[in-house]
Amino acid sequence: MRKVFSVMALAATMMLGTATVATANEEAKVEIISADQVDNMPVVLAQNEPAADADPATATAEEGEGLVYVLKEQFLTGGPLWMGIVLICLVLGVALAIERIIYLNISTINTRKFMNDVENALQSGGVEAAKELCRNTRGPIASIYYQGLDRADEGIEMVEKSVVSYGGVQMGLMEKGISWISLFIALAPMLGFMGTVIGMIQAFADIVREGTVAPTTVAGGIQVALLTTVFGLIAAIVLQIFYNYIIAKMDSLVNEMEDASISLVDMMLKYKVTSK
């Protein structure tokens, strides 16, 4: 029995030792693998990590440069002759429109406050005080008031005629250059259409010269021809927006001028500043 127990104990000891060694080997493998994974993790992450988002300002700048490049490329593709003429129409029209917008904005004043100041001047200092106030105020309304007050000693009928006549003069000053803007609005798309027609003629001339109908020849000629139309329409749309704003601003000023003219005649009758 002792031998049996001894053999069993020896076998158990050997099995326990074998299990311990196996466990130790597995732990070593796990540690080695874990160490390898840890060593390789930065590489994997570096390989799989998506690129950092670009700076929004840089991305916007790149998009802007890309847009400018595309416009420049399409402009050169359309041909410098017709595209240059359309560009000249756009530049001149925009310059005239900006000049008119600045002039009309400078001419705009607080009409209600100005009429109250003129009435107070008439009441306190008479015609000369009101004329001095009009001289120191910008805009067509002040100019009309000055002309009406300057003829106060000639009677109310002469004042009315003077106001109406000088109102027409101020209308002419406000409309200065508007006809040129409307001309460029009509001219830009027509030049674009003309460039398109000439480009189509050239495309068909190339087909006749080559003797074959190549898709690239036809498509290339049509693309170049249509670019002039596109840029002509873009120029007309931009100028039309400016033109409509100027017309709306002028209508507003004309309405204020008419209202102010009627108020001037009423004030002069109220304070009896006319001789007749």
Give the whole-angstrom CA distance, residue 67 versus residue 74: 11
- pLDDT tens string 194-245: 888 887 887 788 777 877 767 776 777 777 778 888 889 999 999 999 999 9
- For 37-102, the DSSP string reads HHHHHHHHHHHHSPPPPPPHHHHHHHHHHHHHHHHHHHHHHT-HHHHHHHHHHHHHHHHHHHHHHH
In the chain, where the domains are located: 1-43, 82-276
Give the whole-angstrom CA distance, residue 30 versus residue 73: 62
Give the whole-angstrom CA distance, residue 69 versus residue 63: 10
Give the whole-angstrom CA distance, residue 69 versus residue 64: 8
* pLDDT band (50, 70, 90) for residue 20: very low
State the average pLDDT over residues 66-91: 78
- Residue linked to tokens 């080559």: 210
Look at 202 and 257; give whichever has higher pLDDT: 257
User: Would you say residue 55 has pLDDT above 60?
Assistant: no
